[in-house]
Amino acid sequence: MLSIGIIGLPNVGKSTLFNVLTAGQANVSNYPFTTIDSNTGMVPVPDQRLEKLNELLSPEECTPCFIQFIDIAGLVKGASKGEGLGNQFLGNIREVDALAHVVRCFQEPDVAHVLENVDPVRDLEVIETELLLADLEVLNRAIEKRQRIWQTVPREHAREKKRWLLYREKLEEGIPLSSIDLTREDQSELKGLGILTGKPVLYVANLSESEYQESNRPCLEKLKESTILQNSSSAAEAVTVSARLEWEVQQLEMEERAEFMKELNMTETGLEQLVRKAFRLLGLITFYTIANEKLRAWEVERETRAPQAAGKVHSDMEQGFIRAHVASFEDLCQHGSFQQLNRLGRVRTEGKDYPVQDGDVIQFFFNP
C-alpha cells in the first residue's frame, strides 16, 4: 500500500495532524522529539461516489480506499549529518512514497518553537536543505560505486550515467528532484537509491484557529510566496489546515460537528482536502466492485490494466483473468443496478489491455 510521510520541524503540529487524520493517539507534547518511533495509521479517502453507491445499493458492507500516513519525528538543522535523531528519521522518510511537509504558521506561546520564533519560509528552507544535503551525499556515493562499470561498458549505461549526473547537478544547484520532469520509472529508481527529494510533496500550512477562519492570512501568504513553493511542480500552493481546530471538531458528536462547521462556513474539513489531494499526489484513481453484498473502492495507479486491477481484489483473479464487465459510475447511478445496465446494453466487455478508468464499476471474470 502506498504511504505518505508527515515531515517537518519539531512542534509544528505533525502529531496533532496525524491524530486527526487517523483518530489515533500519538503522544502530543510541547517538547521536541515526542514522537520517537514512527506512528503509522490507515486513513480512509473521502469519496462522494462511494457514498452515493452505498445509498443506492444498500450493501451489507461498504469499504473505502485507504492511504497509509506515517508520522515521522521532527527533523532539525544538521539532520543530514546526524544531528538530533537525523539518521533514523531520514531512514523513515526513505521508506515512504510521498511527503506531506507540515509548516508551522501559528503563534502559540505555550508551544516552544525549536528555532525560537515562527517563520514558515525559514522552516521550509531548513527541511529542504537537509533533504538536499542528504540526497547529495547518497548520490555521490552511488555515482562513485558505478564509475567503474560506466567506464567498462559505457554504451550500455550511457543513459543511466546521464540521468544520475543530471540529478547531482540539480542537487548541487539546490533544486529538489521532484521539481524536474520525472517519469514513474525515474521516481522508482530514485526511491531505490534512497533519494528523498524525488518524492512528490504536498505542503501543509498549519494555521491557528483564528487565522484559519480569517480571509487575511499574512503568514500563509508569506509561505506561498516562498521560492520553494513557487518552483514546486507537485504542489503549486499549500494545503491549509488548523490541526488544533480540526481536533476539536473531531471530538464533537456528528450533529454538533455539522452545526459547528456550518457556523464556520466549512463545507468540508481541511483534513478531507488534505487526504483527497494526497490521493491525487500519488497518481491514484478509484474503481469499484460489488460482489456478495459487498461494495468496495479500490485504488490503483493511472494506466493500470484490468488484470492488475483484478489483482488488487485477489491475486488469483489476476493470474486467471478472463475478462471484465465495466460500467460507469454515472450509468449505475442513473439506472440503479448492474442487471438493468446489462439489459440496456450499457455494460462493456473489456480484455487484458483495458486501462482502468477513474470511476469504473467492474465485475471481474477469472479461472480459479
Residue with cell 488484470: 307
What pLDDT was estimated at residue 10? 83
Q: Provide the pLDDT for residue 87.
A: 52
317 and 231 co-located in one domain:
no
| 10, three cell numbers | 519539531
Same domain, 9 and 110: yes
Please indicate, yes or no, whether residues 109 and 10 belong to a single structural domain of this protein: yes
Q: What is the pLDDT of residue 328?
A: 94
pLDDT of residue 161: 93
Contact in structure between 366 and 320 (CB atoms under 8 Å): yes
Please tell me the total count of domains within the chain. Answer: 2
The reply to whether 141 falls in a domain is: yes
Kindly state the cell numbers that stand for 235: 504542489
Asked whether residue 55 is assigned to any structural domain, the reply reads no
CB 25 within 8 A of CB 33: no
Quick one: pLDDT at residue 75? Answer: 61
Return d(Cα 287, Cα 326) in angstroms, integer. Answer: 10
Return the SS3 of 362: strand
Q: Are 29 and 110 in contact (CB under 8 A)?
A: no
Residue-level pLDDT at 69:
86
Indicate whether 298 belongs to any domain: no
Supply the range of the domain harboring residue 24.
3-46+66-281
Which residue ranges of the chain lie beneath pLDDT 70? 24-38, 74-89, 109-115, 215-216, 227-238
Identity of the amino acid at 261: M
Specify whether 257 is located in the same domain as 318.
no
Residues 104 and 70 in one domain: yes
**For residue 305, what are the CA distances in angstroms to 46, 69, 102, 356?**
24, 26, 35, 6
Final residue in a domain of this structure, among 251, 281, 311: 281
25 in a structural domain? yes
Q: How many CA atoms lie within 13 A of 4 on its CB side?
A: 31
In a domain, 251, yes or no: yes
* Alpha helix positions (H), 154-208: 158-172, 184-193
Does one domain contain both 223 and 312? no
The CATH number of whichever domain residue 41 belongs to comes to 3.40.50.300
Q: Give the Cα separation of 162 and 186 in Å (integer).
A: 12
What is the torsional sign of CA 121, 127, 128, 129? positive
Residue 310: CATH number of its domain: 3.10.20.30
Is residue 74 in some structural domain? yes
16/156 same-domain check: yes
Boundary residue ending a domain (281, 316, 343): 281
| Dihedrals phi, psi of 226, to nearest 5 degrees | -65, 150
Identify whether residues 261 and 311 lie together within a single domain.
no
Q: Does one domain contain both 236 and 334?
A: no
For CA atoms 355, 356, 362, 364, the dihedral sign is positive
Q: Are residues 73 and 198 in the same domain?
A: yes
**Which residue among 218, 251, 281 closes a domain?**
281
- pTM, to two decimals: 0.79
Domain co-membership, 176 together with 234: yes
pLDDT digits (tens, 9 = 90+) for 143-177: 999 999 999 988 899 999 999 999 999 999 988 88
Residue 312 is predicted with a pLDDT of: 93
- Using alpha carbons only, what angle is made at residue 256 by residues 252 and 260, rounded to the nearest 5 degrees? 95
> Collapsing DSSP states into helix, strand and coil, what is residue 355?
strand
Q: How far are the Cα atoms of 7, 93, 217 from residue 130, in angstroms, in the given order?
A: 12, 12, 28
Is 334 a member of any domain? yes
3-state secondary structure of 160: helix
Instruction: Choose among 25, 16, 127, 6: nearest CA to 67.
Output: 6
Asked, for residue 59, whether it belongs to a domain, the answer is no
Give exposure, 43-65, as e/b (b: 16+ Cβ within 10 Å): bebbbebbeebbeeeebeebebb
The span from the CA of 117 to the CA of 112, in Å, is 9
The three three-digit cell numbers of residue 242, written as one number = 488548523
Residue 117 shares a structural domain with residue 191:
yes
Nine cell digits for residue 347: 455494460
